[in-house]
Chains A and B, each alone.
Chain A
Amino acid sequence: TYLNDFWEKGRSDGEEQSGEQQQQRASPARPSFGKKQLPSIPKNAVPITKPASPAATAQLANGTHASYGPFYLEYSLLAEFTLVIKQKLPGIYVQPSYKSALMWFGVIFIRHGLYQDGVFKFTVYIPDNYPDGECPRVVFDIPVFHPLVDPVSGELDVRRAFTKWRRNHNHIWQVLMYARTVFYKINTMEPLNPEAAVLYDKDVQLFKSKVVDSVKLCNSHLFDQPKMDDPYAISFSSWNPAIHDEAKERMFSHKRRPEDHQKGLPVSGLSWVKPGSTQPFSKDDNPPLS
Chain B
Amino acid sequence: MVANGNRDGRQGEALVLKGVDPETCMIVFKNHWAQVVKILEKHDPLRSNTSSNMASAVQNYVEHILFLLMEEDAGQAGAMGPILEFVVMENVMERLFLWSLRRQFTDDMKLEQLKMYEMIVGQARQPLLHHKPVLRPLMMLLSSCSGTAGPEVEAELVSLLNQLCCVLAKDQSVLELFFHTSEDQGAANFLIFSLLIPFIHREGLVGQQARDALLLIMSLSAENQRVAQHIAENTYFCPVLATGLSGLYSSLPTKLEVPGEEWHCLHREDWLQMPTLVQFLNSLEFCNAVIQVAHPNIRDQLVSYIYNGFLVPVLAPALHKPTLEEVMTTTAYLDLFVRSVSEPVLLQTFLSFILLHRHENVHILDTLVSRINTPFQLGTVSLALFQTLIGLYCEDVMLQLILRYLIPCNHMMLSQRRVVKERDFYSVSAAKILALTPSCCSPEHSPPPLRQLDSILWSKGTDNKTEETFLEEDGSGYSCVIGSEIYLDVNYLHYLYNARLGISSCTRACQVWSAPYDGEDPPPEEYQPSALEEAGARGRQAQKVNPKRSHPHPRPRPPCPPQTTDPAPTNQLELEWDDSYDAGPVVSPEAATAESSKPPQLPAAEPPKHIQEMRRTAIMLVKGSYIEESDFQDDVMVYDLVAKKDARDTVDRRRPSRETLPESEESEIDSEFNLEEDHFKESSLQEKDEVPLSNGLSLPLHPTNMEVNSSEVTKGSKEVKAHVADHNSNLQSPLAEVGDDLMGQYEELIRTLGSDEAGTGGSSPVKTVDKEFRNPVVTPMEEDEVDFSSFSMDTPELEKQHSSLFGTKLCSGSTRSHSVPFTGPFVSVLLSRLENMLDNSLHVNLLLTGILAQLAAYPQPLLQSFLLNTNMVFQPSVRSLYQVLASLKNQIEQQASTKKDFPKLITSAQHCLLARESSLKGQDTNSGDSRECSPLEAGRMMKSSPPPQPKTISLARTEVFATVLFTEFLKELAAIAQEHSILSHVPMEE
Contacts and interface: CB of A to CB of B under 8 A. Distances in A.
B81 interface: no
A40 B482 contact: yes
Does more than half of chain B's interface fall in helix, strand or loop, or is it mixed?
A: helix
A264 interface: no
A4 to B, nearest CB: 13
Contacts of B556: 272, 280-282, 286, 289
A161 B435 CA distance: 35
Interface in A269-288: 269-282, 286-288
B345 A269 contact: no
A102 to B, nearest CB: 4
Interface stretch (A44-52, A113-121, A173-181): A44-52
B299 interface: yes
A78 B985 contact: no
Given A67-B443, A70-B488, A71-B496, A280 B430 contact: no
A269 B883 contact: no
B486 to A, nearest CB: 6
A67 B488 CA distance: 5
Contact of A167 (B396, B425, B496, B509): B425
Interface string B459-477: 0101100110110011000
B425 A34 contact: no
Nearest to A12: B990
Given A58-B886, A281-B396, A34 B458 contact: yes
B434 A68 contact: yes
A128 B479 contact: yes
Interface stretch (A80-88, A201-209, A213-221, A240-248): A80-88
B396 A271 contact: yes
A67 B512 CA distance: 39
A268 B553 contact: no
B396 A280 contact: yes
Nearest to B874: A53
Contacts of B478: 102-103, 125, 127-128, 137
Given A37-B460, A38-B458, A280 B356 contact: yes
B15 interface: no
Given A58-B435, A71-B427, A278-B532, A82 B985 contact: yes
Nearest to B424: A79
Interface in B337-357: 344-345, 347-349, 352, 355-356
Contact of B487 (A67, A258, A279): A67
Interface stretch (B653-661, B672-680, B974-982): B974-982
A54 B426 contact: no
A99 interface: yes
Interface string A64-82: 1111101110011011101
Given A41-B486, A268-B508, A9 B300 contact: no
A63 interface: yes
Interface residues of A, number: 83
A168 interface: yes
Interface residues of B, number: 110
Nearest to B536: A279
Nearest to A83: B985
B513 A271 contact: yes
Interface of B: 296, 299-300, 303-304, 344-345, 347-349, 352, 355-356, 392-397, 399-400, 403-404, 407, 423, 425-432, 434-437, 439, 442-445, 456-458, 460, 462-463, 466-467, 469-470, 473-474, 478-483, 486-490, 492-493, 496, 500, 505, 508-515, 522, 527, 532, 535-536, 539, 549-550, 553, 555-556, 558, 870-871, 873, 882-883, 885-887, 889-890, 974, 978, 981-982, 985-990
16 contacts: A48-B428, A53-B886, A67-B486, A85-B986, A99-B467, A131-B426, A268-B393, A269-B394, A270-B392, A271-B394, A273-B513, A278-B527, A280-B400, A281-B555, A281-B556, A286-B556
Interface of A: 2, 6, 9, 13, 33-41, 45, 47-48, 50-51, 53-55, 57-61, 63-68, 70-72, 75-76, 78-80, 82-83, 85-86, 99-103, 125, 127-128, 131, 137, 167-168, 171, 228-230, 258, 262, 267-282, 286-290
Given A230-B470, A288-B300, 16 more contacts: A34-B462, A36-B458, A39-B481, A39-B482, A60-B432, A66-B443, A67-B443, A68-B431, A68-B489, A70-B488, A86-B985, A229-B469, A271-B395, A273-B515, A275-B515, A281-B355
